[in-house]
Amino acid sequence: MKPATLEFVRQRFADYYKKAVLVAPSSTEQREWGFVLFSPGFPEIHMRRHIGFPGRDELFEYVKNLIPAHVYYSSAYYEQPDAPTMKDKRWLGADLIFDLDADHIMRGPYDIMLGRVKEETEKLLSMLVGEFGIDPKTIDIVFSGGRGYHIHVKDIAFRSWGSAERREVIDYVCGIGIDPSAMLSGKKTVSVGWQVRYRESLIDYLRWIGTLPETDAHAHLAGIPGIGKITAGKILEKREVIIAELVHSPDPVLLKKFPGLSGIVSADESGFKKRLLERAALADEPVTTDTKRLIRMPTSLHGGSGMQVQHIEIRNLAGFDPLTDAVVFGTRDVRLELTGNITVPMLGSTYQLTKGINKVPEAVAVFLCCRGIAEIA
């Protein structure tokens, strides 16, 4: 980032923090804080951390004076949050955190990625409330300001959990370590859960097989490890019988009863696993298992986009549009220089920008400069 661009972005952030009503997390004085500055070399990350504040007023004054590019606080609570080593901080517990990042799910246009990651967030919320029985009042949803969402579960019942217990939760929502025998045994259940999702995924897959020309279906099945031509033919012959069993009450020995099914549910490239994964919530596993994670502070700005890290009520998530609702800068014209053509959807409009000098609204300019796509002309 050129000096003029760095100064432009920093000044816009300074204007925001001068007027913004900032909101700190609960137990501010028990959190560790970290900051990334607009120093030479930005956007390379050089974090200033192991900082503590006695209260919110001191934190807000620090932010308004420092003008950071990124503001983080610990999901953990400490006796001495500003101690220089993790051991000396004396851990007291941590909120249960989930991070959903579009980069881990798909690649594509920014607005499409944001839409896709919101779908995963909605699936995760459904699991936490409907399957874990977590009170929605203890759940905070936060748009990260970049490419995804954070979910904070502040129920004190989870606070003392270690990494192993948190691993169990994230494995469940991501569908990791599922036992096929357990999923395909027992009576049909009307409740939500992985048994229902698993059977529905297998039914969808078998029905899809039925839409293929017979030679294509046979070749597809025969290409799965552990399934030869003879077994592929038997699966096609018994396909409707297998589906009927799955719809009603699967035989406890279903995998043995129909040779080839084990290969289908085990193969990563069978097509079944893809359907199963679509029913999972694709959260970032290391974030949830980390009991000392630093997470972005709502009402701060994201130095990689210029958008606001924003708290969202659960009832408002469906209608939330980051490219409008999390944009805090205005529409005054700013001249930018781009190295290539780009399309930017923002503030309800789509900007078709070309290589060279362009005049764009300030909000678009901040976004492109923060992302390293443009420089101030």
Look up 251 and say whether it is catalytic: no
DSSP, collapsed to helix, strand or coil, labels residue 20 as coil
SS3 286: helix
Residues 6+ apart with CB under 8 A from 362: 12, 329, 330, 331, 332, 333, 334
Read off the tokens for 185: 């045994």
Residues contacting 132, CB < 8 A, separation 6+: 169
101: annotated active-site residue: yes
Distance between CA atoms of residues 282 and 23, nearest Å: 28
Cα separation of 30 and 81, whole Å? 6
* DSSP tag of 308: B
Active site annotation includes 290:
no
Instruction: Give residue 14's identity as a one-letter amino acid code.
Output: A
Strand ranges across the sheet with 47-51 = 47-51, 33-36, 70-74, 294-296
78-to-18, 25, 89, 255 alpha-carbon distances in Å:
30, 14, 6, 50
Catalytic residue among 15, 57, 82, 101: 101
Catalytic residue of the set 284, 290, 321, 325: 284
Write down the catalytic residue from 95, 99, 140, 290: 99
Give the Cα separation of 20 and 303 in Å (integer).
16
SS3 (DSSP) at 296: strand
Which are the catalytic amino acids?
99, 101, 284
